[in-house]
Amino acid sequence: MELTTTYKDGRLDLTFYGELDHHAAREAVQKIGQAIDSYLPRDCVMDFASLSFMDSSGIAVVLGTHKRMVEVGGRAWVVNVPRQPMKVLTASGIYRIVEIAEAV
C-alpha cells in the first residue's frame, strides 16, 4: 500500500493506494500520527478512491485517525469509498462514529 499526505490551509488530505491490511496498517498509523502531530490540522480527509482492498485493519486506521483528530480539536472523515472497503466499514458499524461519504 502507498499513502500520501498533503496539507493545505488547515486541511490534511490522506490518499490511500492499493491494499490496506495488517501488514500495511502499522506503517500507515505511524505516518498519519506524525502528519497530524506536525500540522495540527482542523480537518482530515481520508480518500479511499484508489484503495483496492481493505480488511479490518483499515477500521483500526480510520478509528485511530478519528481519535487523533479529536485529540487535537479537529475532525476526520472518509470519502470516495469503493464497494469492498465500504462493505467492511459497514459491517463494523464505524459509520456511527466517523462520517463516511457515499461510494463512488
**Site of interaction with other proteins (CB under 8 A):** 19, 21-23, 25-26, 28-29, 53, 55-57, 59-61, 63-64, 83-84, 87-88, 91-93
Least Å from the CB of residue 9 to other proteins:
29
Q: Which is nearer to other proteins, 97 or 101 (CB)?
A: 97
Q: Among the residues of the chain, which ranges form H helices?
A: 22-39, 56-71, 83-92
SS3 at position 75? strand
Q: Give me the least distance between CB of 49 and other proteins, in Å please.
A: 17
Pairing type for strands 11-20 and 2-8 reads antiparallel
CB of 10 to other proteins, least distance (A): 25
Query: Phi and psi (nearest 5°) for 21?
Result: -130, -170
Give the bridge partners for 101, in sequence order: none
Q: Identify which of residues 22 and 40 has a Cβ nearer to other proteins in the complex.
A: 22
What the block records as the C-alpha cell of 28 is 500507515
